[in-house]
């Protein structure tokens, strides 16, 4: 399980943009899009196997992973 956090952009009218998109080696998405958000945000997404991620953001963000079934960090 991945925990995703985006701090947002307090100087932006819409709070800033955060996109995380997973890709297989051939360029196809291997999972649903874990994040496509405007403004500060925190969420979780299941991740399985090895899957490269593309992240786009103008402000600080983080992704941390936990084995499935582990308690979620607060």
- Give the start-to-end residue ranges of the domains of the chain: 2-59
Q: Using alpha carbons only, what angle is made at residue 39 by residues 7 and 71, rounded to the nearest 5 degrees?
A: 55
- What pTM value is reported for the model? 0.65
Q: What is the mean pLDDT of residues 49-73?
A: 76
- Better-predicted residue by pLDDT, 65 or 72: 65
Predicted confidence band at 63 (pLDDT cuts at 50, 70, 90)?
A: confident
Using CA atoms, how far residue 58 sits from 2, 11, 21, 32, 49, in Å, is 20, 11, 15, 22, 28
């Amino acid at each position: 399980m991945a925990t995703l956090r985006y701090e947002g952009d307090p100087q932006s009218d819409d709070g800033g943009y955060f996109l995380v998109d997973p890709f297989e080696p051939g360029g196809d998405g291997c999972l649903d899009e874990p994040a496509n958000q405007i403004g500060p945000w925190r969420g979780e997404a299941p991740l399985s196997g090895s899957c490269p991620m593309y992240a786009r953001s103008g402000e600080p963000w983080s992704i941390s992973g936990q084995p499935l079934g582990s308690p979620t960090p607060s």
